Amino acid sequence: MPSGLKLVVVGGGSSYTPELIQGIIAHRSDVAVERIALVDVTPGAERQRVVRGLAERLIKKSGLTIHVEEFLDLKQALKGADIVFSQLRVGGMKARARDERIPARYGLLGQETVGPGGFANALRTIPTALEIAEAIEQICPKAWCLNFTNPSGMVTEAILRHSSVRTIGLCNVPFNIQAVLATVLSKRVEDVSLLMYGLNHLSFVRRVLVEGSDITDVVLAFLRANGQGTAQANIQYIPFSGRVIEAIGLIPNDYLRYYWYTREMVRRQREDLEAGEGTRAIRVMAIEADLFRKYRDPHVTEVPSELAQRGGAHYSDVAISLMLALVGGQVQEMAVNVLNQGAIDGLGWDAGVEVTCRVDQDGAHPLAIGAMDLPVRGLIQQVKAYEELTIQAAVACDRAIALAALIANPLVPSAEVAENLLDDILLENQADLSRGWSR
């Protein structure tokens, strides 16, 4: 078993970091960690100091000896890194609030990873992610970068296309689906395996295996009869109808609600705003304020249960599973974000996809999917075109490509609306965008 690993957490002041620490502690017998370096930007220094304090208390309570450091200098933090976790948010929650508020002006969905909000997030985040990748190339080129930064699929693809950093994108949603199915089936999570394919926040389960036996038809029949879907804390719950499940013959990712139940999701969003509840970002700010009050308490020596309200449930489970496969010698099969490399017909070789992979010390190897199922093929291809255009626009700071991306997005209703959205997004995000946009 490898020992003396150094982990670097970019975005160390995130409210998620204590869950990651908790996961490392829980798997102490599987992989040994010697050092954890938290690194953040100056505005996040106070939060990072608080997170470090809680992390040290968690570790002390566990009886482990892990040295926790904090940095505001990325290159200093990266020295000697074996694993780099990326979980940053360019512009913070205030930027996320803009991502939700601007589309709402046009009667559209405001969300941090899909639609115009996800687009704005990508424009801000991809250049920063590439700067981090460049630093990894210089300081710790053999390290693995595990990307949890949203929009995870686009950020991961950008890093893989524009750097040599060994990168895998992770998302908690596939694991959540697996965990819910395990509960319904009264099985352990590790006894349930899924064959998934698609894009991040736009993926589908094609096959469900329990202890090696294919029970997909049983699960689909259950979903048709009960009209259910898994529930994410950060997504308003609308059950997928039995007729929809029957029509597509697949188990959808929770985020498909934004594409298939758009009018209802917009209506609920509008009602929340009219009721004074604000957007999801406003509610997350309140949740985080409460969390950090608890994090600051020197008597708190466990992760507060309120973290579950934050969204991102099972983040540490996915992150640790990846770690165990890459450096702990435990081969895993899990849905992660990688380059397609021919796994899914109808998408480019170097397109970023979310697909079930065999993960080992050499990386994530996508399983062959073949042809996409016809009921979802068109949507996947359209969103993939939007994503690729968005990455190009973010890298080149190109307004024409950015407009083409918004026009291609299925949650933007017209070119006229796309033009107005782009003007608003660039104007209101200029402080957090690459300087290239100012030309």
The token pair that represents 14 in the structure block: 């995130």
* DSSP H helices in 42-114: 45-62, 74-78, 92-104
Q: CA-CA distance, 261 to 273, in Å (whole number)? A: 19
The token pair that represents 172 in the structure block: 């908690």
Q: CA-CA distance, 191 to 396, in Å (whole number)? A: 45
Out of 197, 255, 258, 259, the active site residue is 255
The token pair that represents 29 in the structure block: 């017998």
Query: For residue 28, how many other CB atoms are within 10 A of its CB?
Result: 13
For 237-270, give the DSSP string: --PPPHHHHHHH-SEEPTTHHHHHSHHHHHHHHH
Which residues in 148-189 belong to E strands, given as ranges?
Answer: 166-169
Q: CA-CA distance, 88 to 84, in Å (whole number)? A: 12
Q: CA-CA distance, 403 to 400, in Å (whole number)? A: 5
Q: CA-CA distance, 207 to 167, in Å (whole number)? A: 26
Query: For residue 72, how many other CB atoms are within 10 A of its CB?
Result: 16
Residue 237 annotated among the catalytic residues of the structure: no
Q: CA-CA distance, 257 to 263, in Å (whole number)? A: 10
Q: Which of 155, 190, 98, 95 is nearest to 391 (CA)?
A: 155
The token pair that represents 383 in the structure block: 């969103």
Phi, psi dihedrals of residue 354, rounded to the nearest 5°: -110, 120
Active site residues: 255
